[in-house]
Chains A and B, each alone.
Chain A
Amino acid sequence: MATITRRGALAAAAAATLARPALAQADDRPALTIAVQRLSNSNTFEPPREQSNVGFRLHNIYSEPLIETDWLGDLSLRPGLTTAWRRIDARTVEFTLREGVRFHDGREMTAEDVAFSFGPRLFGTQGATGAGRSTVLAGTAGKEPPAEVIAVARRTYPGLERIEVLGRHSLRFVNHTPDITLEGRIAQSVGAVFSRAAFDAAESWLAWGRAPVGTGPYRIAEYRPDTMLILEAHDAYWGGRPPARRLRFVEVPEVSGRMNGLFSGEYDFACDIPPDQITVVERNARFEVLGSPINNIRKLAFDKSNPVLADARIRRAMTHLVDRRTIVDALWAGRTEIPRGMQLESYGAMYLRDWDNPRHDPAEARRLLREANYRGEPITYRLLNNYYTNQVNNAQIVVESFRSAGLNVQIEMKENFSQVTERSPGRGLRDWSNTSLFGDPVAGILRAFGPRTEATRTGEWISAEFDRVSTALESETDLERRRGHFRRVLELLEREDPAYIVLHQAAAFTAKRRDIAWRASKGWAMEFRAGNLRVGA
């Protein structure tokens, strides 16, 4: 039984007195509350299981890939958990890991953790290429990742053959096919590095998926499904002490709820604010809305198997009828951009500056419709109720543009995506978007169209030439030839045999207290690291 002595009590009191300023100092960082529409689609936070805008918002708060994306800048790749990387050949990249990086469990990150993160964590016991995987790590029995995690991993790293651990802080990724985009693939959140020891200690895959132990600036402290997620500062973070003590994300499905909570002072940030509410928020001088175009492009997709739309001239006519500038000004208050086709400037050397969308030209549209002998046959536009921001208003503008040229486009409201894409009579037009997961066409439009995509499987848009060119684009390593392939891809998709009409870049808007200095990223990701958060500004 413990005995309390006078000396012991005095020592304890002195220690408590001395500790108080230290605790106060540790706690002087703010605890912030952020209201979001949804916390997690899958009730887990393992990036491959949560590949959506909902997940992308949080991934880089608690986890990091080897190569970082400059979300606040030009979306370029830069050192993160790795200080340097170099190409050995078209199939191989060598990485030098940053030393002294600590996981949330306090352990130091090593090359073995990276090998685990690209091994059993993603591919289970089957491995990246099925049988014959070269890196087999023990300790994952009973924690086989869900089948869809393995499928996402294989899709993200289709050519990954093995990881060679060269030393405690160096390793090589080896592909079985040449891949100039391997660095970009590694920079995706699917490839975040997690603690192998923490995975081994987890009770089940679900327990792991709810609180994966990464290296990000904040660690997952508590998750209540559909309610709140609490992240606490990871003070040993290699990139500097996080500026917030705690981030509390709360799920508030209604826009009005998020805004009311912001106005009443319960929330410091309110995410997913529609553009028409920006002025409502900013009417109050204490708040402002930040946001900008992000790495996602909205498009209106055609179904080539539709009997009317099978004629490319009718689709080409439609591409000339959409007045993008009017849409951006009327519905987005001019706060987003019109990309030059399905590409972003972050594509760098692959960006085709001389490429542009078909011009707004109703006369040309009418000529094409006459040439196609269009007689007013109905074309169905399957529409969701604002799954995308401004979706219904946008559809109404677009449909009126089509009707002005004599096209008989009829809106049919649907409840979910599977109803929209269902292969049944009447499928004609639908809304879609395309996120470029890193700065290259293979991370953008080639995820939507091509041999292994849903568009091919559902028969919406299939082209033998496109499949050939896109496959070449994926494996080609010469820049000029790649640019040529990409140009041909865009010619097919946007001019000759249109698959879609580019509308505009998506934009994400976040309302916040004006006295919080913070910048919104150019993607879905929210950034709360040192240098991007100061309260009381």
Chain B
Amino acid sequence: MLRFATARLARAGLTIAMVVTFAFVVLRLSGDPAQIIMGADAPPEAIDAFRTAWGLDEPVWVQYLSYFSAILQGDLGRSMRDGRDAIVLVTERIPATLALTLPALLIKIGLGIPAGIFAALHRNSLADRIVMVVAVAGFTVPSFVLGLLLVLVFAVQLGWLPSGGQESWRHAILPVITLGLGGAAVLARFTRSAMLEVLGQPYIRTASAKGVPWRSVVTGHALPNAAIPTVTIIGFMVGSLIAGAVVVESVFSWPGVGRLLVVAVSNRDLAVVQCILLLVAVTMVCANLIVDLLYGLLDPRLRSGTRKAG
């Protein structure tokens, strides 16, 4: 068990190191933060002063080493835009993002899973086709299109809700719906597929043949077995709680981590980008760990290690 945990931790650490290195290389070699932050018309003296102040005049490998060693010491650096600690900037934005992604996650689960189960239980019926058409539409329409559509209807035409900003709970409604509907569609499709696969298994037929009521068959045998792929998808969704709303935050001018990431990338504000990436990586690793534990809860064979391939 210890070896397993150590291996997993080492792999997670390696993943994070690779993410950090990749982001550094891409961001540093594709633009000069000094010129981007100071602007196209900044005098050369100002750009030089900025470069010197932030160590950008050092060779790239020296910058990389000093950055990496600082991370190992727990120092995530400071924003080149205003000199504040990157971790402070990022953590300031997390509540705003969670205010969108957590309710959206509830919509995804609350709408997507029942819709998928319903469609599977009514396979090839009109209701199934309607649910799937809606799910495919929700899955394929990009969030910025859906967001703009909702704004046009509910903000511009009806005037019921604000079109953007973050001043009250009403401002969160449209972005939450935009995020929630797309995810619900994904979950509905996966849940339906998983349910259909399980419903075709011999043990479902056996249970039915034994006279177990259909409701009990579904809740006691089908749902738990169909839950594993659904939990996997939910795990991904939990992992993207922090930075999974980049587009929606931009469309709705919502000042969360996603907006911060866009601004930081465009400014090549390396410390802030890295801080967000680290946070996302850690969230993903934690979400995967939770999913692994849930697998064990859902499938006793995984707990005892008796599940056989095939």
**A residues in contact (CB < 8 Å) with B:** 41-44, 51-52, 146-148, 150-152, 154-155, 206, 209, 224-228, 250-254, 256-257, 260-261, 263-266, 387, 415-419, 421, 432-435, 447-448, 452-454, 457
Chain A nearest Cβ from B10, distance in angstroms:
35
Q: Which of A41, A44, A226, A416 lies in contact with B255, CB distance below 8 A?
A: A226
A432-B39 Cα distance, complex, nearest whole Å: 12
A435 touches B164 (CB 8 A): no
A14 to chain B, nearest CB (A): 36
- Closest residue of chain B to A147, judged by CB? B49
B31 touches A261 (CB 8 A): no
Residues on the A chain within 8 Å of B253, using CB: 227, 250-254, 257
| A residues in contact with B48, CB < 8 Å | 151
The residue on A at minimum CB distance from B83 is: A206
User: How many whole Å from A349's CB to the nearest CB in chain B?
Assistant: 25
- Give 12 CB contacts A-B under 8 Å: A51-B41, A146-B53, A147-B52, A152-B42, A152-B43, A206-B82, A206-B83, A206-B84, A226-B263, A264-B162, A433-B40, A448-B41
A415/B30 in contact, CB under 8 A: yes
CA–CA, A180 and B39, complex, Å: 28
Does B36 lie within 8 Å of A151, measured CB to CB? Answer: no
Task: Name the B residues within 8 Å of A418 (CB-CB).
Answer: 31-32, 35-36
- The answer to the question of B148 belonging to the interface, with a C-beta cut-off of 8 Å to chain A, is yes
Nearest Cβ on chain A to B247's Cβ, whole angstroms? 10
Q: A152-B42, A155-B45, A447-B41 are in contact. Are A253 and B162 (CB under 8 A)?
A: no
Cα separation A251 to B260 with both chains bound (whole Å):
13
Interface residue B151 (Cβ < 8 Å from any Cβ of A)? yes
Question: Are A452 and B42 within 8 A (Cβ)?
Answer: no
Is B273 interfacial (CB 8 A cutoff)?
no
Closest to A227 in B: B255
* Residues of B contacting A209 in the complex (Cβ-Cβ under 8 angstroms): 82
A419-B82 in contact given A252-B253, A257-B253 (Cβ < 8 Å) = no
* Min C-beta distance of A397 to chain B, whole Å: 22
Set of chain A residues within 8 Å of B310, measured between Cβ atoms: none
CB distance from A284 to the nearest CB of B (A): 10
The answer to the question of B38 belonging to the interface, with a C-beta cut-off of 8 Å to chain A, is yes
Q: CA–CA, A260 to B163, complex, Å?
A: 7
Q: Is the CB of A421 within 8 A of B35?
A: yes
Q: Give every chain A residue within 8 A of B89 (Cβ-Cβ).
A: 225
B195-215: CB near A (< 8 Å → 1, else 0) gives 000000000000000000000
Q: Tell me whether A51 and B260 are in contact (CB under 8 A).
A: no
Q: Which residues of B contact A155 (CB under 8 A)?
A: 43, 45-46
Write the nearest CB–CB distance from B179 to chain A, whole angstroms: 16
**B22-63 interface code vs A (CB 8 A; 1 in, 0 out):** 000000001110011111111111111110110000000000
**Interface-facing stretch out of B106-114, B121-129, B152-160, B291-299:** B152-160
Is B82's CB under 8 angstroms from A148's CB? no
Also in contact, A260 and B36, with CB within 8 A (given A155-B46, A226-B263, A250-B165): no
Other-chain residue from B39, B43, B47, B151 in contact with A52 (beta carbon distance below 8 A): B39
B35 lies within 8 A of A256 (CB): no
CB-based contact A416/B266 at 8 Å: yes
Given contacts A147-B53, A148-B50, A418-B36, contact A452 B250 (CB under 8 A): no
Contact of B41 among A147, A148, A251, A435 (CB under 8 A): A435
Q: Which 6 A-B pairs have the closest CB atoms?
A: A147-B49, A418-B32, A43-B82, A151-B46, A151-B45, A155-B43
**CA of A387 to CA of B148, assembled, Å:** 23
- B252 interface contact, C-beta 8 A: yes
CB contact under 8 A between A417 and B40, given known A146-B53, A154-B45, A452-B45:
yes
Rounded to whole Å, the gap between the CB of B166 and the closest CB of chain A is: 7
A419–B35 Cα distance when bound, in Å, is: 10
Q: Which residues of A contact B251 (CB under 8 A)?
A: 254, 257
Of the listed residues B84, B148, B156, the one surrounded by the most CB atoms of chain A closer than 10 A to its CB is B156
Neighbour of A266 across the interface among B41, B53, B148, B165, CB < 8 A: B165
Q: Besides the contacts A147-B52, A155-B45, A454-B44, what 14 more A-B pairs have beta carbons closer than 8 Å?
A: A41-B267, A51-B39, A52-B41, A147-B50, A148-B50, A226-B260, A260-B151, A265-B159, A266-B165, A416-B266, A417-B40, A418-B35, A418-B36, A452-B45
Which residues on B sit within 8 Å (CB–CB) of A261?
155, 162-165
Q: A147-B49, A252-B253, A418-B31 are in contact. Are A266 and B44 (CB under 8 A)?
A: no
B81 in the interface (beta carbon within 8 A): yes
Does B189 sit at the interface, judged by CB under 8 A?
no
Output the nearest chain A residue to B254 by Cβ-Cβ distance. A227
Chain B residue, CB-CB nearest to A431: B40
**Cα distance, A440 to B198, chains bound together (Å):** 79
Restricting to B79-138, which residues have a CB under 8 Å from any CB of A? 79, 81-84, 89
> Which residue, B36, B45, B47, B155, has most C-beta atoms of chain A within 10 A?
B45
Which of B38, B164, B255 has most chain A Cβ within 10 Å?
Answer: B164
Q: Tell yes or no: B259 within 8 A of A by CB.
A: yes
Of the candidates A41, A154, A419, A457, the one whose C-beta lies within 8 Å of that of B37 is A41
- Do the beta carbons of A252 and B164 come within 8 Å of each other? yes
User: What distance in Å separates the Cβ of A43 from its nearest Cβ neighbour in chain B?
Assistant: 4
Q: Output the least CB separation between B36 and chain A (Å).
A: 5
User: Do residues A148 and B49 form an inter-chain contact, with CB atoms below 8 A?
Assistant: yes
* Residues of chain A lying within 8 A (CB to CB) of residue B83: 146, 206
- Minimum Cβ distance to chain A for residue B253 (Å): 5
B98 → chain A closest CB, angstroms: 16
Residues from chain B with Cβ under 8 Å of A447 in the complex: 41, 43
How far apart sit A256 and B36, CA to CA, in the bound complex (Å)?
25
Query: A224 — which chain B residues lie within 8 A by C-beta?
Result: 255
Q: Which residue of B lies closest to A296 (CB)?
A: B41
Chain B proximity of A177: nearest CB distance (Å): 17
Given contacts A51-B41, A150-B49, A155-B45, contact A260 B152 (CB under 8 A): yes
Q: List chain A residues, Cβ under 8 A from B52.
A: 147
Interface residue from B31, B53, B267 paired with A419 (Cβ < 8 Å): B31
* Contact digits for B252-273, partner A, Cβ 8 Å, 1 yes 0 no: 1101000110110011100000
A224 and B50 CA atoms in complex are apart in Å by 24
Given contacts A151-B46, A264-B162, is CB(A432)–CB(B81) below 8 Å? Answer: no
Q: For the complex, what is the distance from the CA of A447 to the CA of B263, rounded to whole Å?
A: 28
* Complex CA distance for A506 and B35, rounded to whole angstroms: 22
Known: A264-B156, A416-B266, A418-B35. A257 touches B53 (CB 8 A): no
